[in-house]
Amino acid sequence: MLMDILATITAFASAMLLFSLLVTASVQAIHSIFNLRFHNLRMGLETFVEDINNDVFTDNDEAKIKVKEAVEQCTSVKKVKSTVRVSIKPESIDNDELQNTIKQKLSKVLNEEQIKQLEETMVQRFKNAELFMAQRFQKISHGLSIFLGLVIATVYQINTPDLLSKLSVDPALRAAYISQTENLLALETEFLPVPTYATMAGNTIKNLMVTSPQKQELQTLLTTDLSTESSVLSSMKKLFVNNTAAYKQIKTEYQSSIETTLTQTANKHNEQWQAQMSEVSLLNFTIMPNGLEYYTDTSDMYKLVHNYFGVFISTILISLGAPFWFKNLRMMFDLQERLRKKA
């Protein structure tokens, strides 16, 4: 009896994992298709420009225009790249390049004291802009996950109580779900979210160390802040302060490698989405299996409320995310294994 209950819960969690992965793959595909990273970057830089102009140039319209021109100059290449569906990271603007361009644009407009004040303001405001972009992008992703979870639960009519009831009386169905999950657990690394920028940066630097004569400097670079591209390039510039040619070469190779990784990741997102759609088909989930009457038949209000409530609960569970279900499924499998041994 206990093993049957655990098997039912495990099979249900398997279904939630399946749809959570579909949500994750869909969110990543949307990021790539609509260039949401680039639009988030643009929004963050607009905030950066606005903050500088409000802090330093309240009455200097010429300076405000120059600041905007400088930011547009630094992002023009990024804008071109976004048209070929490269996933632009919110941190993909070189802080040093941005600050130097702004200072050059304003060198004939401001005096030395104003330039110094501008430098201090830019450092702080750029950090604030990075934080704003990261938080905003996280909120966008979370909102998309909830929305897509609702869409998927509605379209496939995933009703939590009904699904649990069905699994509790159908051992063959439970076995099919659990078997599919075991395959997914074996391939977990293929379905985890996109690696952080720090992870990609560390791997890229290690790859550069294989062929680069500047191994010592790159080894030191690994110990610095790798969380954003601006921090990596800033540390890199300091390490190669006496070797400009080496700095330019390493910087070019580094950025090229990161862009290749991002392109490969975007392609992988598309493959993952297609794979998840296939997984849904394998477990016999179909679109609108009970027709529109499932949501519109008012002849039985209790059943109608039950349908809406079940889909709502499924939306919440799907939105918890694949890592949550991966973790709990592993715990369930371990618990079942221990119970089998004890029996």
Cα separation of the two ends of the chain: 13
User: For residue 275, what pLDDT is reported?
Assistant: 66
- What average pLDDT does range 291-300 have in this prediction? 92
User: For residue 274, what pLDDT is reported?
Assistant: 65
Ranked by mean pLDDT, the top range of 24-33, 69-78, 118-127, 189-198 is 118-127
Specify burial of residue 342 (Cβ count, 10 A radius: 0-12, 13-18, 19+).
exposed
Q: Which segment of 185-189, 221-225, 308-312 scores lowest on mean pLDDT? A: 185-189
**Both structure tokens of 64:** 């405000």
User: For residue 259, what pLDDT is reported?
Assistant: 78
Among 205, 230, 238, 232, residue whose Cα is nearest residue 219: 205
Count of residues in the chain: 343
Q: What is the pLDDT of residues 53-81, one digit of tens each?
A: 888 787 788 888 888 888 877 765 444 34
Sign, Cα dihedral of 127, 133, 134, 135: positive
- What average pLDDT does range 252-276 have in this prediction? 72
Rounded-to-integer distance, Cα 320 and Cα 322, Å: 7
pLDDT at 9 over 80: yes
Among 291, 336, 338, 17, residue whose Cα is nearest residue 154: 291
Beta strands in the chain (DSSP E): none
Sign, Cα dihedral of 310, 316, 321, 325: negative
User: For residue 75, what pLDDT is reported?
Assistant: 66
User: For residue 146, what pLDDT is reported?
Assistant: 92
Higher-confidence residue: 340 or 265? 340
Buried b / exposed e along 120-131 (16+ C-beta atoms within 10 A): ebbeebbeebbe
Rounded-to-integer distance, Cα 266 and Cα 3, Å: 41
pTM (two decimals): 0.65
Helix (H, G, I), strand (E, B) or coil at 92: coil
User: For residue 149, what pLDDT is reported?
Assistant: 92
Going from N- to C-terminal start, the domains of the chain cover: 35-158, 194-282
State the virtual CA torsion across 103, 105, 107, 111 in degrees, nearest 10: -80
pLDDT at 329 over 50: yes
% of the chain beyond a pLDDT of 90: 20
Place of tokens 């048209």: 83
